[in-house]
Amino acid sequence: MPGRAAYHHGDLAAEAVDEALRMIAADPSASFSLRALAERLGVAHRALYNHFATREALLASIAARGFESLAETLRAAPDAPAFLAAYVRFALANPGLYDVMTQRDHAQINAHLGLRAGVDRVIAVALGVLASPGADDDTRRREVMRVWMVAHGGIGLQRAGMLRLRSDDQFVEEILHIAGLATKGEKA
């Protein structure tokens, strides 16, 4: 449980998440290991279990931080094309983190308070930028989901090498086109 001050180490829970984020950013392809994290923190690997019940719980906390960070990034987007571009660039710039964020198990998202909150913040920002102000809730939700699905799916396909696009810049331009949010003439 965070919030507790320093006993031996000084808030190990927070430091663990910080260091894990650094490790994941440094080498997204390497699978994240509790032992490697513990070694970097100069701590017995078992110490982490005093703060996170399982490895998955730690990953959920990392994901939560990722969604907070993503929401903050997206909040700067003035319109739909900027939103989509920012989302895609975040995912491509932080592939390991994006995986941790989006590959959590169904149940975990609702179980982990911070994670649920992070996801909801992203959705809230999206509703503000992407949805038509006057429309009913169902329509607004669908407008958001459409962009989200295109973005999430496009990222997955791009990273899997299914698309034949060379650079990430090219991909961003292309996905704006595909989503119907062309950079010049754009619709809702």
Partner DNA sequence: CCTCAATGTATCCAGTGGATACATAGCCAC
Partner DNA sequence: GTGGCTATGTATCCACTGGATACATTGAGG
Residues that bind a copy of itself (CB under 8 A): 102-107, 109-110, 119, 142, 145-146, 148-157, 159-163, 174-175, 177-179
At closest approach, how far in Å is the CB of 171 from a copy of itself? 11
Question: Does the footprint of DNA cover residue 56 (CB under 7 A)?
Answer: yes
Query: Cα–Cα distances in Å, from 42 out to 6, 9, 46?
Result: 15, 10, 12
What DSSP state is assigned to residue 46? Answer: G
Nearest to 2 by CA among 59, 12, 40: 12
Q: How far apart are alpha carbons 37 and 50 in whole angstroms?
A: 14
CB 148 within 8 A of CB 120: no
Question: Does the footprint of DNA cover residue 166 (CB under 7 A)?
Answer: no
What DSSP state is assigned to residue 96? Answer: H
Tell me how far apart the terminal alpha carbons of the chain are, to the nearest angstrom. Answer: 44
What residues between 32 and 51 interact with DNA by CB under 7 A?
32-36, 43-47, 49-51
Q: Which is nearer to DNA, 18 or 56 (CB)?
A: 56
Residue 132 interaction partner, one of a copy of itself, DNA, none, beta carbon < 5-8 Å per kind: none
Distance of CA 87 to the CA centre of its chain: 9
At closest approach, how far in Å is the CB of 46 from DNA? 4
CB 118 within 8 A of CB 68: yes
Q: Which is nearer to a copy of itself, 8 or 164 (CB)?
A: 164
Question: Does the footprint of DNA cover residue 12 (CB under 7 A)?
Answer: yes
Residue 182 interaction partner, one of DNA, a copy of itself, none, beta carbon < 5-8 Å per kind: none
Residue 50 interaction partner, one of a copy of itself, DNA, none, beta carbon < 5-8 Å per kind: DNA
Which residues, at least 6 apart from 68, have a Cβ–Cβ distance to it below 8 Å? 118, 121
Query: Which residue, chain included where needed, has tokens 């994670």?
Result: 115
Q: Which is nearer to DNA, 56 or 173 (CB)?
A: 56
State the residues that interact with DNA by CB under 7 A: 1, 4-5, 7-9, 12, 32-36, 43-47, 49-51, 54-56
